[in-house]
Amino acid sequence: MIKLRNVSALLLGILSSVLLISCTAKTNTDTANVAEVVFTGEIVHRDNLFWTEERDRNWEIDIRSFATHVLRNHPLFDGFTRGVTNPPTLPLEVLEKEARIFAFNVLLEMTAERNGILISDQCTMREELRELFIDSVSTLILDIPNIEDFEFKYRLAEIAALLSDIHTNISYRSFTASIFPVRILPLYDGIYFIGVPKEIEHSLYGRLLAINGVEINEVIERISNIFPYENEYYLNQFLLSRFHMGLMDSELLEYVNVVGSDRIAYFTIMDTMGKVFDIRLQASEFSLDDFNNILMDDINFSFHDFSGWLTHSEENFFYKYFSDQSIMYVRIRSFHSGHFENSDPPIINELRQELRDWPDGKRIEKLVLDLRQNMGGNFMWPTALDYLILSEKVDSLYVIVDGGSLSLSIIVASSLRHRMENVIVVGEPTGQPESFFAGSIRVSSDSGLVFSISTNLLSSDAGQDNADIAFRPDILIPLTIENVINNHDPVLAAIWRK
């Protein structure tokens, strides 16, 4: 029987970083130097911009806006630009949350180390990281007239990546991208082709070894400098397979000197029989809808639709009870509530009521909560009320996660593991640790730039003193290309057999 360990424990721990470290600011207020104007913390208006060409002015205002918001709001920098040297008065019970200070310092040290800042003093780390950020922004502003638009967006993305925080990121309102016409699936042991044009059908399920002679690990290493990420599981399983600014984006590969401006590349593949060969591909302009549509064109395209999971429903939330095995399967693809912003989606309340009305004496032997590829969102299941219901109705609870499980999905999985008994986490390590910075600022610009910026430290109560870079399952079951080919879900199969 599942029992609550700590009903009164808070599910979320949110703490502004002004609490965590008190440091003396080093602020340059000399606005005469164009490269330093952005760092005064003042909004720069269009009539005060440095460049005169409209294109250059648009990029300049974008980078200044991004940098100003980051320095004013991100927990790693908050306090420097506002001149905060001491935390505000806070309730004693908050000040005593030393574990949250520990979590912040772990993230700070990880970020500093990735940027070559190898010192032990946290205040100095923040100062050095801030100076690195300032220098990078200054250099980019001065380079604007000398670089192409596609180079600018990757340069700015590299600056965002300095923070190693996936909630602080750069994207663009682009409906098209220059994409190589293949669909890839990153797995724990490599990257595989699961969708290819008919003329190269022999490469389906092949493992990607190199692009234009550059070994794939080197390609990933070059790309990794452009994306913010907390651990390799997010980088390998989620980022690489994105439609835009992913591994098959020819502009990105051109930027990291893997392909040329002709957008032609030779992909070295090892097929399922161990044979190694090259295929030649030309990138083309696609919209996301167009790219997805060609996957359905079985005349010209071969694509494997992995149907190992129990549902292909496009809904964020799905559940089904298997009475013959006494298993309740709950699949949450996203915690975004859509247009139900002020209340839970109706299907959540439907499941909650069904569990509440479950007949006395007829317990559910297993409840499976599938959070794979769940990037988080803004509604919560289970809530504190749901914990009580689950403890009364369910014998064992299985939580499934993988490298695409992010943000709120990690908070949910972590809290279930630590607040309830007979909870088993299965799958692969998540794409973030149990404590991470989370964003609440999202800004769009006229040039198509969209950026999100973290403002808080988010953590489950149980995760605040954990220095691991990922939330790890109790039972590790990675997905393999053989599983994909055979439409076999090894995680659900293992749970069903238990």
User: How many Å apart are CA 255 and CA 100, to the nearest integer?
Assistant: 39
For the chain, report the end-to-end CA distance as a whole number of angstroms.
16
Look up tokens 């596609």; give the residue.
Answer: 150
pLDDT band per the 50, 70, 90 thresholds, residue 442: confident
pLDDT single digits (tens) 322-373? 999 999 999 998 888 765 555 677 888 899 899 999 988 889 999 999 999 8
How high is the pLDDT of residue 13?
39
Rounded Cα distance, 95 and 76, in Å? 19
Selection from 72-81, 335-344, 403-412 with the highest mean pLDDT? 403-412
pLDDT category of residue 85 using cuts at 50, 70 and 90:
very low
Q: What is the DSSP string of 294-344?
A: HHT-TTTEEE-----SS----SSEEEEEETTTTEEEEEES-B--TT-TTS-
Q: Looking at per-residue confidence, does 1 or 376 come out higher? A: 376
Question: Domains of the chain: which residue ranges?
Answer: 13-166, 176-303, 317-431+468-497
Mean pLDDT along residues 429-445: 86
Per-range mean pLDDT, top range of 181-185, 194-198, 276-280 = 276-280
Which pLDDT score is estimated for 18?
A: 38
Closest Cα partner for 454 from 435, 434, 442, 437? 437
The CATH fold assigned to 317-431+468-497 is: 2-enoyl-CoA Hydratase; Chain A, domain 1 (3.90.226)
Whether pLDDT at 430 is above 50:
yes
Looking at the predicted structure, is the pLDDT value of residue 36 above 80? no
Q: Is the pLDDT of residue 493 over 70?
A: yes
Crossing angle for the helix pair 122-143 and 54-73, nearest 10 degrees? 170
Fold topology of 176-303: Pdz3 Domain (2.30.42)
Which pLDDT does position 444 carry in this prediction?
Answer: 77
Predicted confidence band at 7 (pLDDT cuts at 50, 70, 90)? Answer: very low
Residues 6+ apart with CB under 8 A from 160: 66, 70, 168, 169, 170, 228, 451
Higher-confidence position of 243 and 118: 118
Confidence of residue 43 (pLDDT cuts 50, 70, 90): low
pLDDT tier at 305, thresholds 50, 70, 90: low
- What is the reported pLDDT for 304? 66
